Structure 1
Amino acid sequence: MYEGKIIKFYREKYQITQEQLGKGICSGTHISKIERLQTEYAPEIVALLSQRLGINLEHEMKNLKNIKMRLNHWHNVIIMQLFEEMDTIHEELEHLELIKVSEYVNLYNLLQARYLLMKNRTDEALILIKVIQKIEHKLTPYDSNLLKHVLGIYYLANQDYLNAIQPLKAIQDEVYNNPEYYYHLAVAYHSIESPIMAYFYADKSRQFFKGINNYIRVIDAEMIMTIQLKDDGDFTETIKRFENLIQGCELCNAPHRKAKVLHNLAYEYYRRKKFEPASRYYKDSLSLKDKESSPYLLSLEGYIRSSFLGCLLPPDELLQLAKEGLETAIQKNDLLYINLFNLICYLLQFKEHEYYEYLYDRALPMFKKFGFVYLIHRSKKELFNYYSKTNQTSKALKIAEVLINH
């Protein structure tokens, strides 16, 4: 059944008509029927057509039959986050032109979108996602669930956490045998400050990652679980968990994971107003990150704030760091960090009125639009304190009502 598809693919690739290909071998009508799998044909005819096209039909048949196996392996490598092997398989599949005429072309495009998201090429991934969504009714049940997973990851990559939950929750376990999506649900719930759901799904993903002996991803899941835990009074149990995660990252030679763990430990100190260790751990996290990346900007924002509130560095030195962060955010056209670093610049220049005006008019609406729950809540608390201090009673009461409802 594959011979006709292969002949049609290469005939069209070389821009040969059916009559031209069949000249001296068989009629164009017969080739049409071979390509559409509507007739029996002699092996000798197919051999002559293949020779005229300059292809090794046996080799091409083998490639076509192995496509699903290679795609499944690529998916597993993506889940395991084995980046070098992932890139190698991607390169191999890019040169396997027959994918385009195989029955697995949709699976390939979905995994290609997933690969692009892992490379932070979200715009390219979205183009593929939109193409696949147009033919969603034609997808196999597995591919349909994979599309939901990829869509959820796309929303996470764009920090649109509320929209990420809907497709991820719609995934059918009985059809889609990839519990990795529990981890992405955990990330989404954590980001909208839903600790119970975040812990629940992180634990389920941890069990999956343990089952496939992927200890790097186990660290990812356990980090989310650790963040959700309530204080144990003196914070020692939480610190111990983070130290164990840091040690795990070192044993696995995983500096990117270690950077994440350090950042989250810094934040735990920051929210307890322990600014000196917060600043130190943010700085350690920064040293392991790419200066042009969003994770770097996130840790930089935390480092500047904790250093300022703890009076650890002069404001003018911190202002220079904030301006560098703002410049990077503008180059990346990253609205979140453009807003955050503009706020920090006002803060470091002690421009109180401008800070709160920008927070209310620009930053808070943007935080609401994309569902940044923590930043929304933090902004409202800041605004309430400012309005109360400046005797803007009606505004303070309005904010207070929102905070109580929250």
Structure 2
Amino acid sequence: MYEGKIIKYYREKYQMTQEQLGKGICSGTHISKIERLHTEYAPEIVTLLSERLGINIETEIIKLNNIKKRLHYWHDVIVMQLMEEMELIYNELEQEELIQISDYINFYNLLRVRYFLMHNLTEEALDIIVEIQKKDHKLTSYEVNLFKHVLGVYYLAKHENLKAIKALKTINEADYTNKEYTYHLAVAYHSIDSPVMAYFFADKSRQFFKEINNYLRVIDAEMLMAIQVKDDGDFKETIQRFESLIKSCDLCHSPARKAKVLHNLAFEYYRRKNYELANKFYKESMSLKDNESSPYLLSLEGYINSAFYGGLLPKDELLQLAMEGLETALKKNEQLYINLFTLLCYLIQDKKQEYHQYLSEQSLPLFEKFGFVYLIKRSKKEMFNYYFEQKKNRKALKIANVLINH
């Protein structure tokens, strides 16, 4: 079944014509039919052609048959986020020449998208997505749904949360057994401030991660569930949940997850205006992150905000931190963080007019484009207070009307 494909691949690799390959063995026309599986042929002919190409046809067939198994294993490793194993398999598959002629080339490329997104290589991921879109009619039903999942993860990486939800909601579970996508749906709903839907899908993902015995991903799901519970009582239950998650991260030796938990705990303190503890946990979270990464910038923004409103650091030190964050954001071309750190620079320098003009003209349209509901609400409240202070009553009432209707 595969002999013809293999012979054609190596013939083209070595830049041989069909006549050159067949000289003394068979005609070029016969080789053309073998390559296209349009004729029967004696095993001896394939053996002779293989020897001329310098390959062992039996070994090549075994390698080709093994590709499907390796790809499914790689998919499982990606879902479980076993990073070292994921790298090993990626490097192994990159060296596998026959993958280009296998029946699983689309499956392979879809998994490469997931791999690149896990390394924050969104441009490389997009290049593959565009190529796959050109031949989506050739995808199997499983690959069609995997493609929707991949698109959802890509949109999340680009902060396009509404697009992520649209893509992920069209997945057909009957044709797609990887329910990890429910976790990404939960993340997307959390990002647009829809706690009920976020909790629902996070719980579904938690059940799936338990079924596949992946405790690290259970931690991810439980953390997502914890931050949906907006208790405004004594806060003890929420603190206990986070403390339990931190212990679980330590037991599993997962500093990356611990950093996420600490960041979310910091935010819970921040929204309750306990700026000192918020600042403490933001700093702990930052200490576990790469200071060139987007997650680091997110925690740095919270650290500066909590220090500013809590009066915990001198303004010149805060401005220096904000400028460093802006420089990193510009280098990475991260529009969200460029906006957030630009706003911080204006805020720290008490440039109210510049702050609110930039907020109105640049930041709010960006937040609305990507569906950052928390940032949209915060921005509109700030604009209302500013217009009210400036006695610009018409603008203040317009903002108030939007907030009330929302």
Per the normalisation by structure 2, the TM-score is: 0.99
The structure-2 alpha-carbon separation of the partners of 1:381 and 1:232, relative to structure 1 and needing over 3 Å to count, comes to closer
SS state of the match for residue 261, structure 1? helix
- Distance apart, 1:180 and its partner CA: 0.3
Q: Structure 2 regions of 5+ residues with no counterpart?
A: none
User: Which residue identity is paired with 2:128?
Assistant: L
Once residues 313 and 354 of structure 1 are traced to their aligned partners in structure 2, the CA distance between those partners, rounded to angstroms, is 23
User: Which residue identity is paired with 2:313?
Assistant: L
1:239-293, CA deviations, whole angstroms, 9 ceiling, x for partnerless residues?
A: 0000000000000000000000000000000001110000000000010010000
- Mapping of residues 1-400 of structure 1, within 5 Å: 1-231=1-231, 233-400=233-400
User: Which residue identity is paired with 1:340?
Assistant: L
- Distance apart, 1:230 and its partner CA: 2.4
- Distance apart, 1:19 and its partner CA: 0.4
1:405 match: 405
- RMSD (CA atoms): 0.7
- Distance apart, 1:356 and its partner CA: 0.8
SS state of the match for residue 323, structure 2? helix
The structure-2 alpha-carbon separation of the partners of 1:190 and 1:92, relative to structure 1 and needing over 3 Å to count, comes to same
- Contact 1:286–1:299 under 8 Å retained in 2: yes
User: Which residue identity is paired with 1:281?
Assistant: F
- Contact 1:259–1:289 under 8 Å retained in 2: yes
Once residues 106 and 250 of structure 1 are traced to their aligned partners in structure 2, the CA distance between those partners, rounded to angstroms, is 38
SS state of the match for residue 227, structure 2? helix
Once residues 299 and 346 of structure 2 are traced to their aligned partners in structure 1, the CA distance between those partners, rounded to angstroms, is 19
SS state of the match for residue 33, structure 2? helix
1:197-230, CA deviations, whole angstroms, 9 ceiling, x for partnerless residues?
A: 0000000000010111111100100011000012
- Distance apart, 1:364 and its partner CA: 0.8
- Greater than 6 Å deviation, 4+ residue runs: none
Once residues 398 and 279 of structure 2 are traced to their aligned partners in structure 1, the CA distance between those partners, rounded to angstroms, is 34
Once residues 86 and 163 of structure 2 are traced to their aligned partners in structure 1, the CA distance between those partners, rounded to angstroms, is 28
Once residues 402 and 29 of structure 1 are traced to their aligned partners in structure 2, the CA distance between those partners, rounded to angstroms, is 74
Per the normalisation by structure 1, the TM-score is: 0.99
Once residues 98 and 257 of structure 1 are traced to their aligned partners in structure 2, the CA distance between those partners, rounded to angstroms, is 37
- Distance apart, 1:106 and its partner CA: 0.6
- Distance apart, 1:57 and its partner CA: 0.9
User: Which residue identity is paired with 2:230?
Assistant: K
Question: Percent same amino acid at aligned positions?
Answer: 70
User: Which residue identity is paired with 2:112?
Assistant: Q
Once residues 42 and 354 of structure 2 are traced to their aligned partners in structure 1, the CA distance between those partners, rounded to angstroms, is 82
Once residues 127 and 353 of structure 1 are traced to their aligned partners in structure 2, the CA distance between those partners, rounded to angstroms, is 41
Of 327-336 and 227-236, more deviation after overlay is shown by 227-236
Once residues 322 and 125 of structure 1 are traced to their aligned partners in structure 2, the CA distance between those partners, rounded to angstroms, is 30
Q: Structure 1 regions of 5+ residues with no counterpart?
A: none
- Contact 1:259–1:288 under 8 Å retained in 2: yes
Once residues 76 and 316 of structure 1 are traced to their aligned partners in structure 2, the CA distance between those partners, rounded to angstroms, is 49
1:121-143, CA deviations, whole angstroms, 9 ceiling, x for partnerless residues?
A: 11011110111111111210000
- Distance apart, 1:339 and its partner CA: 0.6
User: Which residue identity is paired with 2:166?
Assistant: Q
- Contact 1:232–1:238 under 8 Å retained in 2: no
- Contact 1:4–1:37 under 8 Å retained in 2: yes
Once residues 358 and 102 of structure 1 are traced to their aligned partners in structure 2, the CA distance between those partners, rounded to angstroms, is 53
Once residues 231 and 44 of structure 2 are traced to their aligned partners in structure 1, the CA distance between those partners, rounded to angstroms, is 77
User: Which residue identity is paired with 1:113?
Assistant: V
